[in-house]
Amino acid sequence: MSLEPIFIIGIISALLLGCGSVGLLMIRFHNPRLLGLGWLGAALGAGGVGALLLLIDPRRVPLVSVLLPDLLVLAAFAFLNLAVMEVVAFQAVPALSLLLLAAQAAADLFVIYGPGSAAFRISVVGVLIAAQTGQTVYLLLRRAAPAVRPPAHATSVVLIGFIAWNLLRSLAIATGLLNDRTLAGRPLAVQVQICTDVIFLVVALVLAFGFFWMTTARLTAMVEDLANTDPLTNVLNRRAFSRAFEQEFNRAQRFSSSFALLMLDIDHFKQVNDRHGHMAGDEVLLAAAHNIKSSTRGIDLIGRWGGEEFVILLPGANAATAQIVGERIRAAIDRPVPLRDPSKHIAFTASLGIAIGQPGDSIDAIFRRADDALYRAKSAGRNCIRIAPAEPPTQRKERVARLPERLSAVQQD
């Protein structure tokens, strides 16, 4: 009679895991972009079949009632590890999973054909599951991209608790702590097994939720990246750069820190398109974006302002730093670019205008000064840099003094 709850929970677990497996696999086949759900469905399927086989008397056909269910349950956690590897884009041969499965097979054969006991078998299963789950937690904590870290960390907390339960249970069984003990009139070992079955089921449901959370967060990040990135050059588009520039501008004004805005225009770009075609023009834009990235600092922001014009924000930079970075960009761009045909190259240059942010400045004023400096660089013969002169103090004071009046007019509108 005491075993009846184990059978009931086992059947319920197998049914729920089986249904979850079918559902996840259908979702994965319908939407291939939902990474990890296919392996997670395989994990639930393996766990469900293993749960059913565990209900068979281990004395009957031990290879089916002992070896196979243990391998399936451990394989379920190996599939879970593969699902996490797919989500975090970590490609590696699952060597640990194969090693653990081999160790489980050896332990079960030792029990079936050797002097190994049921307690030994259960202890080994718990330790190996904990080891496989530990590798999964490591991937979630160390390899997850920033966009999926919140769900990855939340899932890790559940898995760490699951690891602790398996290790404590294995230790209690291996030391005989549960032998001949009762709780509320029932054998303690049976009650621990019931708790273990329930925990396995709850963890499976939490994992399914966690993976949906992670895949949703990943897709959301991809959509946001597409919305903020220029599709050709893979730098910020105009809208995203404007938003980022406004944030840096407000921060600089609040803390009275300096920054520089560089405006870059590729010289005679129309002639490139006319002579070599638009595909060659795209190659030039890609090369320009690549050279700008390789010539700037990690904290700098790069955007495509439109057509052949780029903008670069240098936080914390003064005129001297901006001049150095601008010259590095100009020199990097002034190199022949190979086309798809290796025998053909295009030589092109770029002109740059630089404006330095000032206290009490405005965003429009900074862009206007940078654009004026770029125009002067073009007029000076191109392939050069010009820095916009600082706004005269008197003019800046007059403009700052008019700010409350302009703000009041905007609020009234």
Q: Is there a single domain that holds both residue 145 and residue 244?
A: no
Q: How far is it, in rounded angstroms, from Cα 10 to Cα 15?
A: 9
CATH number, domain at 367?
Answer: 3.30.70.270
Q: Is 188 exposed, middle or buried (0-12, 13-18, 19+ CB in 10 A)?
A: middle
Q: What is the largest CA-CA distance in the chain?
A: 97
Q: Is there a single domain that holds both residue 250 and residue 381?
A: yes
Q: How far is CA 182 from CA 44, 65, 120, 123, 197, in A?
A: 32, 27, 21, 20, 19
pLDDT for the residue numbered 274: 85
Question: What residues are paired with 265 via a beta bridge?
Answer: 309, 351
Kindly report, residue by residue over 137-190, the tens digit of the pLDDT.
999 999 888 888 899 999 999 999 999 999 999 998 888 877 777 766 667 777
The answer to whether the predicted template modeling score (pTM) of the entire model surpasses 0.75 is no
Number of domains present in the structure of the chain: 2
Q: Is there a single domain that holds both residue 10 and residue 108?
A: yes
Question: DSSP for 58-113?
Answer: TTSSHIIIIIHHHHHHHHHHHHHHHHHHHHTT-----HHHHHHHHHHHHHHHHHHH
Structure tokens at 218: 């990943």
Q: How far is CA 314 from CA 55, 246, 323, 349, 364, in A?
A: 66, 13, 11, 21, 17
Q: How far is it, in rounded angstroms, from Cα 365 to Cα 349?
A: 27
Terminal-residue alpha carbon distance, the chain:
80
Q: Is there a single domain that holds both residue 61 and residue 200?
A: yes
DSSP 8-state assignment for residue 65:
I
Question: What residues are paired with 236 via a beta bridge?
Answer: 229, 303
pLDDT for the residue numbered 403: 45
Q: Is there a single domain that holds both residue 217 and residue 280?
A: no
Domain boundary among 209, 228, 247: 228
Q: How many CA atoms lie within 13 A of 285 on its CB side?
A: 23
Q: How far is it, in rounded angstroms, from Cα 84 to Cα 143?
A: 9
Kindly report, residue by residue over 34-55, the tens digit of the pLDDT.
778 888 899 999 988 988 888 8
Q: Which residue has the higher pLDDT, 374 or 219?
A: 374
Q: How far is it, in rounded angstroms, from Cα 348 to Cα 98?
A: 55
Q: Is 391 one of the catalytic residues?
A: no
Domain-located, residue 322: yes
Domain-located, residue 158: yes
pLDDT for the residue numbered 315: 93
Rounding to the nearest 10 degrees, give the CA dihedral for residues 287, 296, 388, 309.
30
Q: How far is CA 263 from CA 193, 270, 348, in A?
A: 68, 18, 17
**296: pLDDT strictly greater than 80:** yes
Domain-located, residue 403: yes
Q: Is there a single domain that holds both residue 92 and residue 167?
A: yes
Q: Is there a single domain that holds both residue 153 and residue 249?
A: no
Q: Point out the catalytic residue in the list 4, 224, 246, 308.
A: 308
**412: pLDDT strictly greater than 50:** no
Domain-located, residue 356: yes
**88: pLDDT strictly greater than 80:** yes
Which residues constitute the domain of residue 215?
4-228
Domain boundary among 228, 247, 281: 228
Q: Is there a single domain that holds both residue 35 and residue 180?
A: yes
Q: How far is CA 386 from CA 155, 183, 229, 355, in A?
A: 53, 84, 28, 9
Degrees to nearest 5, angle at CA 364 with 360 and 368:
110
pLDDT for the residue numbered 51: 85
Q: Is there a single domain that holds both residue 273 and residue 405?
A: yes
Q: Is there a single domain that holds both residue 265 and residue 201?
A: no
CB 124 within 8 A of CB 171: no
Q: Is there a single domain that holds both residue 214 and residue 260?
A: no
Domain boundary among 201, 228, 255: 228
Residue 334: how many other CB atoms lie within 10 Å: 14
**17: pLDDT strictly greater than 80:** yes
Question: What residues are paired with 310 via a beta bridge?
Answer: 264, 304
Q: Is there a single domain that holds both residue 309 and residue 345?
A: yes
In 132-283, beta strands by DSSP E: 182-183, 186-187, 259-266
Closest residue by Cα to residue 129 from 170, 85, 83, 190: 170
Q: How far is CA 47 from CA 68, 138, 142, 151, in A?
A: 11, 22, 26, 23
Most confident of 5-9, 321-325, 357-361: 321-325
Secondary structure (3-state) at 289 = helix
Domain-located, residue 233: no
Kindly report, residue by residue over 349-390, the tens digit of the pLDDT.
999 999 998 777 889 999 999 999 999 999 999 999 999 987
Residue whose tokens read 């054969």: 109
